[in-house]
Amino acid sequence: MARRRGSREQGLLIAVEGLDGSGKSTQVELLMRHLRLRGVSVHRSNWNSSPTVHPLTRHLKSLRALDPPGFALVHAADFADRYEREILPRLRVGTSVLCDRYVGTALARDGARGLPRDWIANLYAFARPADLTFYFRVPPEVAASRILRGRPAFSFYEAGLDLGLADDPYDSFLRFQTRVAAHYTAIAERQGYVVIDATLPMRSQQRVVRDAVRQLLGEDPR
Amino acid sequence: MNGKGFLIVVEGPDGVGRTSVLRDLRLGLEADGLAPALVRLRGSAGLRAPLRDLQRRSDISERALFLLYVADLAAVYREEIAPALAAGRVVLSDRYTLTPVVRAESRGMERSWAAEVLSFLPPPDLTLLLEAPARLRVQRMLARRRFLTPRESGAGATYRRDPQAMLIRYQRQLDALFHDRAQADGVVALDATRDPAALAGEALALVRALRATPVAVQAP
């Protein structure tokens, strides 16, 4: 992998995936600091954060106007905008990019909303696969309690309330996120994600992350 | 068949005469005793206004814009077309999936990719594609309006398959154009790949040297 990177003078593309509340954002932050201290030029791009598209998505979510294809399409639009204007230009000039959620998120969430896998995969076919993807696996109950520690309630779509799985937001969240987790597990298997037990202490998780990145960089393990 | 009704689509670029054909179709079907529903793709309730705003901006990727058009079309289908079809009406639609695919292709996306993105929408029962030479169409467009919009004039279509390759090519061209000026009098080229302190040090030294030779400063 490191050789390929050298020959193309491209930055590395590293992604983290997992349910909300899996702790993946913390792990990205730690990895980014680690890489910067080692002199690696690195940038972070978060899911659903295009300055142009995100306000629109937020508006449509507040109207609860998104059916599953609509939900998939606006998130793909946000991703396309960031991929072409934020991620690719950096990779081209040798800056590495850490993506807090990548194509796996769409495959898992839109798949859990019942959209065909091939259609979702095509939607993102323009994006190059990440060089390394971590999946932070956490039981939905744990994710739920971590989320509710930070804010009073689940959001409408995060709880899958658009699908009518349950009237109670908590029940709906568990049912929907259980589906998302099942899709994640299958995708992780298929695409060779590094699966990390996200109930372990933060430091143990970070150690696994750094070891895998070191290998990708073609360095010896410590 | 879409539900109980029929979906008839009139497609073609601007200035080709879709509106008159649709009007005559509607009148003809009404004369047959039918109540056709005319759908113009003016946008869905949620996306109409924001999309109009985005079209005028340049800080969005063409691919993202295409995906938002598709989201909008999906909402129009749900809000306007599907209910009319379910009621058994003939729906006459001013454009449908062909236009977004062609626009995407003109802006560097692959046709097969764009068509697959749109594949979740039910196919129409009939698509009428109107064709006329571009000169004539543009003549008609300019007869109706004083100015064309930048997008109608092709803005965004300069994006090729690989906008990033263009970025690098453009920036290299800038390097070369600037470097040409480096030969001119009073211009000193500095290697800016060094660490910022060293660069600033050299710049400062040059300024100091200049101050030490006032003749150069006073030269007209």
Is residue A25 a part of any domain in this protein?
yes
The answer to whether position A221 is within a domain reads no
Q: Do A76 and B163 touch (CB under 8 A)?
A: no
pTM for this prediction:
0.86
All CATH 3.40.50.300 domain ranges in chain B, comma separated = 6-144
Nearest C-alpha in A relative to B50: A56
How far is the CA of A11 from the CAs of A1, B28, B133, in angstroms?
11, 61, 46
According to the model, what pLDDT value does residue B2 have?
Answer: 52
Q: How many domains does chain A have?
A: 1
How would DSSP label each residue in A85-120?
IIIHHHHHTT-EEEEES-HHHHHHHHHHTT--HHHH
- ipTM score over 0.90, yes or no: no
Q: Per the CB < 8 Å rule, is B59 touching A92?
A: no
Confidence of residue A222 (pLDDT cuts 50, 70, 90): low
What percent of chain A clears pLDDT 70, i.e. is strictly above it? 95
Residue A116 lies in a domain: yes
Residues of B within 8 A of A73 (CB-CB) are: 67-68, 70-71, 74, 117
Q: What is the pLDDT of residue B179?
A: 81
CATH architecture of B6-144: 3-Layer(aba) Sandwich (3.40)
Mutate to test the interface with B, among A41, A45, A81 (most CBs of B within 10 A): A81
Per-residue pLDDT of chain B (220 residues; tens, 9 = 90+): 455 899 999 999 889 899 999 999 999 999 999 999 999 887 888 888 888 888 888 788 999 999 999 999 999 999 999 999 999 999 999 999 999 999 898 888 999 999 999 999 999 999 999 998 888 888 888 888 888 887 787 777 765 556 677 777 777 887 887 788 877 777 888 898 888 899 989 989 988 888 777 554 444 4
Give the range of the structural domain holding residue A10, as residue numbers without chain letter.
Answer: 2-216
pLDDT higher than 80, residue A210: yes
Q: Does A129 touch chain B (CB under 8 A)?
A: no
DSSP letter at A84? I
Model pLDDT, residue A198: 97
Higher per-residue pLDDT: B2 or A135: A135
Give domain status of residue A222, yes or no: no
What average pLDDT does this structure show over A60-74?
A: 95
* Tens digits of residue pLDDT in A136-191: 999 999 999 999 998 999 999 999 999 999 999 999 999 999 999 999 999 999 99
pLDDT at B158: 60
pLDDT of residue A91 exceeding 80, the answer is yes
How far apart are alpha carbons A206 and A134 in whole angstroms? 11
Evaluate whether B69 touches B116 at the Cβ level (below 8 Å). no
**pLDDT at residue A1 above 60?**
no
Set of chain A residues whose Cβ sits within 8 Å of the Cβ of B78: 67
Report DSSP state, residue B119: G
In CATH, what number is assigned to the domain containing residue A149? 3.40.50.300
Name the pLDDT band for A54 (thresholds 50, 70, 90).
very high
**A36, part of any domain:** yes
- Does residue A68 form part of some domain? yes
pLDDT tens by residue, A109-132? 999 999 999 999 999 999 999 999
- Contacts with B100 from chain A: Cβ below 8 Å: none
Q: With a cut of 80, say whether residue A69 has pLDDT above it.
A: yes
- Order of strands, edge to edge, in the sheet holding B6-11? B37-40, B90-94, B6-11, B126-129
Indicate the pLDDT class of residue A7, thresholds 50, 70 and 90. very low
Residue of B nearest to A56 (CA): B50
